[in-house]
């Protein structure tokens, strides 16, 4: 059993899966990076919010108070998830929507001759909004390039394109295409050394690892609840001091208070309730309990047929804060998913002609594969016929797909989620091995 720290708790996959209704028909979902399946407590929170008294925010009536409390609780929940302050959390239709709005507000502070930096590791939602905003202001865009051989984005590659006129750097905490997790803190230190701001796309990373925006050195951090078991909306955190200096476009009667000045129109209260419930679900992946004795058993090797031992993490003690429970649970999830990733990756390495497009030192459990001579859409149909969902494409990761030299088809992406089981992985491996082009 893998042990992390001096306290441990097994990751109970059966308990987690029992709370996800979409799993009941036996489908194995490897499409989590595009959107996760919804736990019953999240759906229930959405339903209960919509069927309870509800109005615009206020304090005079029960309906107004319900709306007010829903918003405050959602801000608090996302802040706990990110290790942030609730006063910096704002919501929008999606991460893409939030980033476009933020880019326009930040661009008002730029001047001709200034520079911004984006990376070729990023999803286009953390590239195009900044490129468009820069073009409107006469600002130069520089690219920090990933290494196509390793899939890494070296902090030195970012440093090479920084200068005294750099105003903003946008970088991902984890690639939604190939799973690479760059050293965001090292990048942040370089960015801040030239007086620039750092916007981090945390959509993919937030679903898989503990997040601490302060430790990362982020000035802004964006995520999408539907990638971490929640509903379809976007959440962004910004350092309140950085947000205070910005003047986003808004209606004249709208409040100028933070963080509301960044929220356009009435918020979707039911989705915010679902977001808070999703954070609560993540916090309880490992239920709080008294610490158990540490294990001295060495980690098992993970290969094509090796069993995956229960993942462990720091058990939050009874009475722990939600933030403490989140860190404990996400630590356990990271260990659990990493073991499954290594198991799946080994099987992919053994497929004739297969290339897994990242060798990064730290990765999420997301693998992009291309296979010489194999029609990936046909392979996708083969898997779908066996109730195994694995999509094909470039998944809006336009720049990394270009940098990796992927063709129009892109690649086949296998992504794990908190509800992915060892049996799911074994079914996938078996279905791949029985595909006619791979038969010996």
Same domain for 210 and 94? Answer: yes
Same domain for 245 and 106? Answer: yes
Residue where a domain terminates, one of 254, 277, 301 = 254
Q: Give the Cβ contact number of residue 113 at 10 Å.
A: 9
Helix (H, G, I), strand (E, B) or coil at 290: coil
User: pLDDT tens across 46-95, in order?
Assistant: 999 999 999 999 999 999 999 999 999 999 999 999 999 999 999 999 99
Same domain for 104 and 192? Answer: yes
C-alpha–C-alpha distance, residues 267 and 157, integer Å: 39
Same domain for 346 and 248? Answer: no
Q: Which residue has the higher pLDDT, 428 or 409?
A: 428
Same domain for 169 and 241? Answer: yes
* Run of H or E including 330: helix 322-349
CA 342, chain centre distance (Å): 20
Domain count, the chain: 2
Residue where a domain terminates, one of 210, 236, 254 = 254
Same domain for 208 and 344? Answer: no
**Residue-level pLDDT at 44:** 99
Q: Is residue 260 part of a domain?
A: no
User: pLDDT tens across 268-280, in order?
Assistant: 999 999 999 999 9
Q: Is residue 371 part of a domain?
A: yes
Q: Is residue 261 part of a domain?
A: no
**Considering the chain, what percentage of its residues have pLDDT values greater than 70?**
92
**Residue-level pLDDT at 9:** 57
The one-character DSSP state at 437 is G
Q: Which long-range contacts (CB under 8 A, 24 or more apart) does 397-401 make?
A: 397/122, 397/123, 397/124, 397/175, 397/176, 397/177, 398/124, 398/127, 399/118, 399/119, 399/120, 399/121, 399/122, 399/124, 399/127, 399/143, 400/120, 400/121, 400/122, 400/146, 400/175, 400/177, 400/178, 401/177
Joined together, the tokens standing for residue 214 give: 């302060």
CA 244, chain centre distance (Å): 26
Range of the domain at 207: 86-254
The pLDDT mean for the chain works out to 93
Residue 206 scores a pLDDT above 70: yes
Q: Is residue 376 part of a domain?
A: yes
**Residue-level pLDDT at 297:** 28
DSSP line for 20-32:
-GGGGG--EE-BG
Same domain for 33 and 160? Answer: no
**Residue-level pLDDT at 386:** 98
The distance in angstroms from the start CA to the end CA of the chain is 35
CATH number, domain at 164?
Answer: 3.40.640.10
Task: Tell me what the mean pLDDT of segment 202-209 comes to.
Answer: 99
DSSP line for 357-393:
S---SSB-SEEEEEETT--HHHHHHHHHTTTEE--EE
C-alpha–C-alpha distance, residues 134 and 115, integer Å: 8
Is the four-CA dihedral 144, 149, 151, 152 of positive or negative sign?
negative
Residue where a domain terminates, one of 230, 254, 278 = 254
C-alpha–C-alpha distance, residues 149 and 139, integer Å: 31
20 contacts 42 by C-beta, under 8 angstroms: no
Confidence band, pLDDT 50/70/90 cuts, at residue 391? very high
Give the residues across from 234 on adjacent strands.
Answer: 92
Q: Is residue 294 part of a domain?
A: no
Residue 316 scores a pLDDT above 90: no
User: pLDDT tens across 293-315, in order?
Assistant: 333 323 222 233 334 444 444 56
CATH number, domain at 343?
Answer: 3.90.1150.10
Same domain for 212 and 92? Answer: yes
User: pLDDT tens across 112-143, in order?
Assistant: 999 999 999 999 999 999 999 999 999 999 99
Q: Is residue 274 part of a domain?
A: no
* Total-model pTM: 0.92
User: pLDDT tens across 334-379, in order?
Assistant: 999 999 999 999 999 999 999 999 999 999 999 999 999 999 999 9
Joined together, the tokens standing for residue 373 give: 């001579």
Q: Is residue 7 part of a domain?
A: no
**Residue-level pLDDT at 315:** 67
Same domain for 107 and 171? Answer: yes
**Residue-level pLDDT at 409:** 85
Q: Is residue 417 part of a domain?
A: yes
User: pLDDT tens across 244-257, in order?
Assistant: 999 999 999 999 99
Same domain for 23 and 139? Answer: no
Same domain for 428 and 336? Answer: yes
Same domain for 113 and 224? Answer: yes
């Amino acid at each position: 059993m893998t042990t992390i720290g001096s306290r441990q708790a097994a990751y109970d996959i059966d308990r987690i899966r029992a709370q996800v209704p979409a799993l009941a028909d036996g489908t194995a979902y490897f499409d989590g990076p595009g959107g996760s399946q919804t736990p019953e407590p999240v759906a229930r929170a959405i339903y209960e919010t919509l069927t309870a008294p509800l109005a615009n925010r206020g304090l005079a009536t029960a309906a107004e108070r319900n709306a007010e409390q829903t918003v405050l609780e959602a801000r608090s929940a996302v802040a706990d998830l990110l290790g942030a302050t609730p006063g910096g959390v704002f919501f929008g239709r999606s991460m893409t929507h939030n980033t476009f709005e933020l880019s326009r507000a930040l661009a008002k502070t730029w001047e001709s001759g200034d520079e911004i930096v984006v990376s070729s590791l990023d999803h286009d939602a953390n590239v195009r909004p900044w490129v468009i905003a820069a073009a409107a202001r006469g600002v130069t865009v520089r690219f920090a390039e990933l290494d196509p051989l390793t899939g890494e984005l070296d902090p030195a590659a970012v440093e090479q394109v920084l200068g005294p006129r750099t105003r903003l750097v946008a970088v991902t905490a984890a690639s939604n295409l190939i799973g690479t997790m760059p050293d965001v803190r090292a990048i942040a230190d370089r960015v801040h050394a030239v007086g620039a701001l750092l916007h981090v796309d945390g959509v993919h990373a937030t679903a898989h690892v503990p997040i601490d925006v302060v430790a990362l050195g982020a000035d802004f951090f964006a995520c999408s609840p539907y990638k971490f078991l929640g509903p379809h909306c976007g959440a962004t955190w910004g350092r309140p001091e950085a947000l205070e200096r910005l003047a986003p476009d808004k209606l004249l009667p709208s409040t100028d208070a933070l963080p509301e000045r960044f929220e356009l129109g009435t918020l979707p209260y039911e989705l915010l309730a679902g977001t808070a419930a999703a954070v609560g679900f993540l916090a309880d992946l490992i239920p709080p309990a008294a610490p158990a004795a540490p294990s001295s058993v060495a980690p098992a090797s993970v290969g094509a047929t090796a069993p995956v031992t229960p993942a462990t993490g720091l058990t939050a003690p009874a009475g722990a804060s939600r933030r403490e429970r989140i860190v404990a649970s996400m630590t356990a999830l990271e260990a659990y998913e990493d073991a499954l990733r290594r198991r799946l990756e080994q099987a992919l390495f053994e497929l004739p002609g297969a290339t897994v497009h990242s060798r990064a030192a730290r990765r999420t459990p997301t693998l992009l594969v291309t296979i010489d001579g194999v029609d990936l859409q046909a392979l996708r149909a083969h898997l779908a016929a066996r109730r195994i969902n694995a999509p094909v494409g470039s998944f809006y990761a336009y720049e990394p797909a270009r940098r990796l030299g992927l063709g129009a088809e892109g690649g086949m992406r296998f992504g794990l989620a908190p509800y992915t089981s060892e049996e799911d992985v074994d079914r996938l491996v078996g279905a791949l091995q029985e595909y006619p082009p791979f038969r010996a």
